[in-house]
């Protein structure tokens, strides 16, 4: 989000100096932190989201991570369907230099998209201790902080149930 907002700012302020870009990046990072992270971490005006220098020197590089997660989920689903990972990996890896959608259609039968994510299940389990256990895709994670606003059926998180 910071990456995209900074690029929008740069297009809107094409004559900006490096110090103006720095100040704008820090403010954008604070604004996004305050909106999405401060309610969870109870700390405002954190600039941590501004430290990633790739956002400037690698043009719109960071949004590719989201697409990478979608692709990883689809490939993981395909590997489970195929059963034998070795031959399946060889089949999909030798397709050559094609567009991501064409490659994914050949690999999994569907274009790149979020469908594979819909099968993932996240469970927030109430705990007897001060920590919460989170079961994510059949793995347990521990967290010291489970925000009060996370509740079963929250539409922001897929398939949340209490056990």
Residue 13: pLDDT band with limits 50, 70, 90: very high
Residue that wins the pLDDT comparison between 114 and 30: 30
**Residue 8 in this model has a pLDDT that exceeds 60:** yes
Q: Tell me what pLDDT residue 45 has.
A: 94
pLDDT for position 120: 56
pLDDT computed for residue 118 by the predictor: 67
Q: Please tell me which residue, 107 or 155, carries the higher pLDDT value.
A: 107
Are β-strands 122-125 and 160-161 bridged in parallel, bridged antiparallel, or unpaired?
Answer: parallel
Mean local confidence (pLDDT), 63-77? 82
**Residue 73 pLDDT > 50:** yes
CA geometry: angle at 137 spanning 135 and 141, to 5°?
35
How sure is the predictor about 18, in pLDDT bands with cuts at 50, 70 and 90? very high
Instruction: Supply the pLDDT for residue 83.
Output: 87
Structure-model confidence comparison of residues 95 and 45, the more confident one: 45
DSSP string, the chain: -HHHHHHHHHHHTTT--HHHHHHHHHHHHHHHIIIIIHHHH---S--GGG--THHHHSTT-TTHHHHHHHHHHHHHHHHHHHS-HHHHHHHHHTT-S--HHHHHHHHHSS-SSSGGGGG--EEEEP-SSSSEEEEETTEEEEES---TT--TT-TTSTTEE--
Q: Are 10 and 16 in contact (CB under 8 A)?
A: yes
Residue 42: phi and psi, rounded to 5, are: 55, 40
């Amino acid at each position: 989000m910071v990456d995209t907002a900074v690029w929008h700012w740069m297009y809107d302020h094409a004559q900006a100096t490096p110090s103006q870009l720095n100040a704008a990046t820090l403010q954008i990072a604070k604004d996004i932190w305050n909106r999405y992270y401060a309610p969870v971490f109870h700390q405002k005006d954190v600039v941590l989201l501004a430290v990633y220098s790739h956002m400037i020197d690698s043009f719109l590089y960071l949004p590719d991570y989201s697409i990478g997660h979608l692709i990883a989920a689809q490939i993981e689903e395909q590997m489970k369907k195929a059963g034998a990972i070795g031959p399946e990996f060889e089949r999909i890896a030798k397709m050559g230099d094609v567009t991501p959608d064409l490659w994914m259609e050949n690999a999994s039968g569907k274009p790149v998209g979020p469908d594979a994510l819909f099968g993932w299940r996240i469970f927030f389990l109430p705990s007897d201790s001060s920590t919460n256990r989170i079961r994510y895709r059949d793995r347990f994670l521990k967290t010291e902080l489970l925000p009060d606003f996370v509740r079963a059926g929250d539409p922001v998180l897929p398939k949340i149930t209490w056990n």
